[in-house]
Each structure stands twice: as structure tokens, then as C-alpha cells.
A and B are shown apart, each in its own frame.
Chain A
Amino acid sequence: GENVEQHPSTLSVQEGDSAVIKCTYSDSASNYFPWYKQELGKRPQLIIDIRSNVGEKKDQRIAVTLNKTAKHFSLHITETQPEDSAVYFCAATFTSGTYKYIFGTGTRLKVLA
């Protein structure tokens, strides 16, 4: 069945360093890949997304890359700040007629001051 794997499950970085989170999806028909940030006790919120016709997208300190051949996509956060500490989820939509969103298992990012 459809599956999205996400690594690592936890990630600690020093403030100012970069953080990279990786996801792999199983269905080659997927064509939309969003990333959500969830702060403690809050709802997930979209921070960046990418479509299958684009290989890379950047928004200030956040970037996402997509390798369709390998079915990998990654989130890159540069110059991390304490407020970046949260759980990050990747997701993929599957164009099998229902386009439900399957989420990865999440990465808990801790930015150490």
C-alpha cells in the first residue's frame, strides 16, 4: 500500500547549523509533496511544498528538493533558530483517484541555543 518513510525520527542541531530531513514515498504516481510543522500542542501548518514538475524550491531559510527517480524528497533548514524546534512531517498525495494525503512519521527537531 501507499507509504511514506521519514528519517530521522529525532534531530538535534546547534543554533545556526543546518538541518536535513529526508522522506521516501512508495507510489510513483505521487505529484505533490508538502511539509508541515507542528509545534507542541498545536495543529500542523504548511511551511513549504513542491510539485513533481520541479526539482527544488526555496523560501528564505527553508528549501525542499525532490528526486522523482529515486522517489526521495528532503527538507533543508539553514541557519536554524530555537523557534525552528518542532515536529516536522512530510506528506505525499497519490493520484489514484482519491488523493488522500499520507504523512511520514515525523521528525522531532531540537535546536540547541
Chain B
Amino acid sequence: NAGVMQNPRHLVRRRGQEARLRCSPMKGHSHVYWYRQLPEEGLKFMVYLQKENIIDESGMPKERFSAEFPKEGPSILRIQQVVRGDSAAYFCASSPGLRTTLGGTGELFFGEGSRLTVL
């Protein structure tokens, strides 16, 4: 069972370009979370999605950032017109859906992260 897959692992963009980060959750998981981690800092919640639905995007910047999790395919975090301050590691995590999973641990499984560098 493959874990959470993120790509690209490293992405370099110039200011003003677009960045697209992809996340394929673990098999059987229908919940995806995106977190941003600046160097030497913690995991900041950005958005929580289920298939075709955004459940909570309270951590997403109001402009330039968007996320989707289509019925088919990976979840995508899109950053338009990137600025230097967007340079960070972006982690995706997935879970099966804690509340209705009898005996489930509720564990979030993280991908290896996508490291965005904006020049």
C-alpha cells in the first residue's frame, strides 16, 4: 500500500509564475489536508478537502491560493503569481475519515512534502 505521494518534491519558480503541487492520498483515504511549513517553523493548516468538496479553507490566503480534490486524480494546491514569501515546504496528509471508522486511530499520514523555492 503506497503512502501519500506528493510531487514534485522540489519546485523552483520565478516571481509571478504559477506553482502546482499534487498529492495522491493513501489508498482508501478520502480526506486530504494541506499544511505549509516555513523553515524552522511549525505546520500551519491551510485547507481540508474531501472528494469534490472543500471542507475547511480557513488557513488559505484569500488571494492567489486555491485547492481542489477532484473525483478522479490527485488533490492539487495551486499558487498563482508566486512571491518570495511563498517559499516553503508544503505537506499533504490524508486520513480515512476518523469519525466513522470503527477502531480507527485517526492518524494523519503525511507525504514527503513539496519544497517550493521562489527566485
Give A residues with C-beta under 8 Å from B.
1, 6, 32, 34, 36, 42-46, 49, 89, 91, 93, 95, 98-106
* A30 and B99 alpha carbons, distance in the complex (Å): 13
Question: Is B65 part of the binding interface, using a Cβ–Cβ cutoff of 8 Å?
Answer: no
Residues of B within 8 A of A98 (CB): 48, 55-56
Give B residues with C-beta under 8 Å from A.
33, 35, 41-45, 48, 55-56, 58, 91, 93, 98-99, 105-108, 110-113
* A45 and B111 alpha carbons, distance in the complex (Å): 10
- Assess whether B35 is in contact with A103, with CB atoms less than 8 Å apart: yes
Nearest-neighbour CB distance to chain A for B41, whole angstroms, equals 7
Residue among B42, B48, B58 making CB contact with A104, cutoff 8 Å: B42
Residues of A within 8 A of B111 (CB): 43
* A102 and B59 alpha carbons, distance in the complex (Å): 10
Nearest-neighbour CB distance to chain B for A95, whole angstroms, equals 8
- Assess whether A89 is in contact with B43, with CB atoms less than 8 Å apart: yes
* A49 and B109 alpha carbons, distance in the complex (Å): 13
Q: A43-B112, A103-B35 are in contact. Are A32 and B45 (CB under 8 A)?
A: no
- Assess whether B98 is in contact with A44, with CB atoms less than 8 Å apart: no
Residue among B42, B106, B107 making CB contact with A103, cutoff 8 Å: B42
* A44 and B4 alpha carbons, distance in the complex (Å): 12
**Closest B residue by C-beta to A44:** B110
- Assess whether B105 is in contact with A106, with CB atoms less than 8 Å apart: no
* A89 and B98 alpha carbons, distance in the complex (Å): 20
Residue among B41, B99, B105, B108 making CB contact with A101, cutoff 8 Å: B108
* A42 and B108 alpha carbons, distance in the complex (Å): 15
- Assess whether B98 is in contact with A103, with CB atoms less than 8 Å apart: no
Nearest-neighbour CB distance to chain A for B24, whole angstroms, equals 14
- Assess whether A44 is in contact with B112, with CB atoms less than 8 Å apart: no
